[in-house]
Amino acid sequence: MADPSALAAAMQRLWVQFLPQMEQRVATLEAAAAALADGKLTAAQAGEATKAAHNLAGVLGTFGLTEGTTLAREAEPAYAAGLPIDPGLHARLAEIASHLRNLITTGA
């Protein structure tokens, strides 16, 4: 049976290792939501946001942050649908990005 403290230490090392990537992915979602709010979201930005949300959903689930996975999965299809994206979604997408930022910052 695995030593729980060793497993916790290994997960902490992985968290630290992946934190910069997670922060960059959230920044991508924040930038996409801001661009959408300004009416300037490009297809390339939407594609990057789709990829960022998809990757966040997976990695956050790995760390047991199921709320983060749920939020990222909500954002992914909004961006994946292609342009134009309903401008009414910008507030929700900005809220999702903000909440993901908070989850990653606190690690919970």
pLDDT digits (tens, 9 = 90+) for 43-78: 999 999 999 999 999 999 988 899 999 999 999 999
pLDDT category at 94 given cuts 50, 70, 90 is very high
User: pLDDT averaged over the chain?
Assistant: 91
DSSP secondary structure code for residue 87 in this structure: G
pTM of this structure: 0.90
Task: Count how many Cα atoms sit within 13 Å of the Cα of residue 74 in the half-sphere of its side chain.
Answer: 16
Give dist(CA 101, CA 30) in Å, integer.
9
Q: Give yes or no for residue 35 having a pLDDT over 90.
A: yes
Q: Give yes or no for residue 2 having a pLDDT over 70.
A: no
Q: Give the right CATH number for 4-106 from 1.10.3470, 1.10.760, 1.20.120, 2.60.40.
A: 1.20.120
Domain ranges of the chain: 4-106
47 burial (CB, 10 Å; 0-12 / 13-18 / 19+) is: middle
